Structure 1
Amino acid sequence: MVKTYFMLFFACAIWGFQPACVKLLVAEWPPAAMIVVRYAIIALMWFAAAWHAEGKNIMPHKEDWKWLISMGFLGILLNNVLQFTGLQYTTVTNCTLISATQPAVTACIAFFLIRERLSLAKWIGIFISFGGVFAVVSGGSLEVIRQINFNTGDMLCLAAQLSWAAYSFLSLRVMKDLSVEATTFWFCLFGGIMTAVYGAGSGTLQFVPLSPGALISFLYIVFLGGFCSLFFYNVGVKNAGPSVAAIFLNIMPVVGIFSGFMMFDDYIGPAQMGGAAAIIAGVFMTTHHWKHPV
């Protein structure tokens, strides 16, 4: 299991550093342009992997097309545009901390959508995680909460987590019929096409030569963040189980805070540190196995 744990650690550490790379990129490329090129390359890689494993069996069933298109819209167009745009208005630290609430957000939505039963400890974990988010996005100011005057970038990053959670439920439906490789290829393809249409319609599909630093960042989010990490994490889920794999996601905010501080001199104060502690504790309680569901 040591190899599996290393793969999980590597994947989550890579994802933790990814927002810093995106923040460098959005200074030169609009989010839509970045997403289109990124997922065109990623889709080709997943097509090669799926074709090598299954050949013509990668074709979806008739009833799966609408779900794959919806996955592309939620998981790529909406999620990436919201998060990448949000990074233009908030810090890498805040974005990473908000992203760390994903397990709690998913568990909460699961209760309302599919009536998944949650233990009392998991409900407590969800509320603790969201309390940590409020601490981060408000900067620890009660006045900000009373006036509902949150940072636009923080709100966009939080909305991105909601869209990814919705995507996750659709993926469960599709992967009853298709393999992980085939599912990933199709939703990347559809998401990239829809983002291209959105970018063309909004006039944001603009490409300029990237600086060396931005080019390295782009290669990072494509090959490390977009393909290798996803592959390693999926292997980890298969070998160690989803609950154990989810705990490794706690590495992301730690790496994110460090990268934001080192690369952009992000401010790390009591609100960020307290919010990080609450989010990590809440995620652990939400993803851990507990008895006595309510």
Structure 2
Amino acid sequence: MRNLRSGPLSALIVSGVLWGITVPLTKVALDGLGPMWLTVVRFGIAALPLLVMAGRTELRKAWRPEILAWGAVGYGAVIVLQSVGIGRTSVAHASLIVGLIPVLGAIAAVVLGRGGAGRTGWIGFGVAFLGIALVAGAGGGGATLSGDLLVFVSAALSAAFLMVQPGLLAGRRPLAVTAVQFTAAALAAVPVACLTEGAPAVPAAQGPLLALAGLIIAGTLIPYWLFAYAQAWVAPDLAGAFLNIEPVIGFGIGVVLFGDPFGPLQMAGGLAVIAGLVLTTLPQGGAVPPPPEPGAVPEPRPEPVLVGQATAGV
């Protein structure tokens, strides 16, 4: 029984950690590929197993102009902007800004009348943005304002994607929708990559090549399935709370492995962002439901859609 209860929570923790390494992996991978070709390769390869598993019937349902368009924007444009920004800023800065996606999504939901936020939620919004301002103002570690702004714009696009995605998923299998959107992201980036970066080259160094493989497998496919499994048994608000792990991991890696500055301002800003994220995603009565009987197959909640890291990570 204990293992059945701990399984979904363990999956959430691991998925959060894996999505947390996507910004550092992107920073390394950019030494071998430009941001355009990195987007093409990442989503093109990640789409292949999803296309195979989705099935022709479900893929035909998902192969719609609006789904393709939002795949090109919500995955393709988002990751291109994010990658360009990561190349111009520090890992620590980018990780914290990407971590704002749930906050931006919550604000958009309130503005559009699709959700509500109590006093605690609004305090969380303010604290998180104050933290970003502190970290961005401190600078250092190769961080630039232009890089931070590009990552922020990509996060804002991801939040917009969050708002429209439920409508795109309605009546369709999420796996098929994600497969089509990954494909659209890769295809849309190809002509732009050819025009701006020329012909792609296989990364000569081992580090960027391994980072690219890590982005595809550990930063996209594995956390996607772990999060999908967990969402079958865990309340959505509790699952969302575990996304707060992502910026913590990325910020820590930036400081420890990339030598990003960690003075009083960075510490205060980082803690403020994390505290703000926690305040905006506090579980509202979410708890792990009774565990399934051995061998039981649950009626899953909607499969997650990877954004910005998804879920990352993408």
Q: TM-score, normalised by structure 1?
A: 0.88
- 2:241–2:283 Cα contact (<8 Å) kept: no
**Displacement of 1:41:** 0.8
Q: Is 1:101–2:100 an aligned residue pair?
A: yes
Distance 1:4 1:81 in 2: 32
**Displacement of 1:201:** 3.0
- 1:196–1:205 Cα contact (<8 Å) kept: no
Distance change in 2, residues 1:131/1:191 (3 Å) = same
Q: 1:146 matched to which residue of 2?
A: none
Matches within 5 A, 1:83-162: 83-139=82-138, 151-162=145-156
What is the number of equivalent residue pairs in this alignment?
279
Distance 1:248 1:204 in 2: 40
Provide structure 1 residue ranges, at least 5 long, that are not aligned to the other structure.
142-149
Q: 2:266 matched to which residue of 1?
A: 272
Matches within 5 A, 1:247-258: 247-258=241-252
**Displacement of 1:162:** 0.5
Q: 2:16 matched to which residue of 1?
A: 12
Q: 2:299 matched to which residue of 1?
A: none
Distance change in 2, residues 1:209/1:140 (3 Å) = closer
Q: 2:303 matched to which residue of 1?
A: none
Q: 1:39 matched to which residue of 2?
A: 43
Matches within 5 A, 1:125-274: 125-139=124-138, 151-204=145-198, 206-274=200-268
Structure with greater helix share of residues: 1
2:257 match: secondary structure: helix
- 1:33–1:207 Cα contact (<8 Å) kept: no
Matches within 5 A, 1:59-78: 59-60=60-61, 65-78=64-77
Percent identical residues? 25
Distance 2:261 2:199 in 1: 32
**Displacement of 1:194:** 0.6
Distance change in 2, residues 1:214/1:177 (3 Å) = same
- Give the aligned CA root-mean-square deviation in angstroms: 2.1
Distance 1:5 1:128 in 2: 27
**Displacement of 1:32:** 0.6
**Displacement of 1:202:** 2.6
2:277 match: secondary structure: helix
**Displacement of 1:117:** 2.3
1:87 match: secondary structure: helix
**Displacement of 1:203:** 3.6
2:232 match: secondary structure: helix
**Displacement of 1:114:** 4.0
- 1:72–1:192 Cα contact (<8 Å) kept: no
Distance 1:253 1:186 in 2: 28
Distance change in 2, residues 1:289/1:255 (3 Å) = closer
Distance change in 2, residues 1:219/1:203 (3 Å) = closer
**Displacement of 1:91:** 0.7
Distance 2:199 2:77 in 1: 16
Distance 1:140 1:34 in 2: 26
Distance change in 2, residues 1:210/1:169 (3 Å) = farther
**Displacement of 1:75:** 1.7
Q: Which letter does structure 1 place at the counterpart of 2:50?
A: W
Q: Deviations over 1:188-213 (max 9, x none)?
A: 01111111122123345532333111
- 2:70–2:181 Cα contact (<8 Å) kept: yes
Provide structure 2 residue ranges, at least 5 long, that are not aligned to the other structure.
286-314
**Displacement of 1:140:** 8.0
Distance change in 2, residues 1:210/1:8 (3 Å) = farther
Q: TM-score, normalised by structure 2?
A: 0.83
**Displacement of 1:274:** 1.1
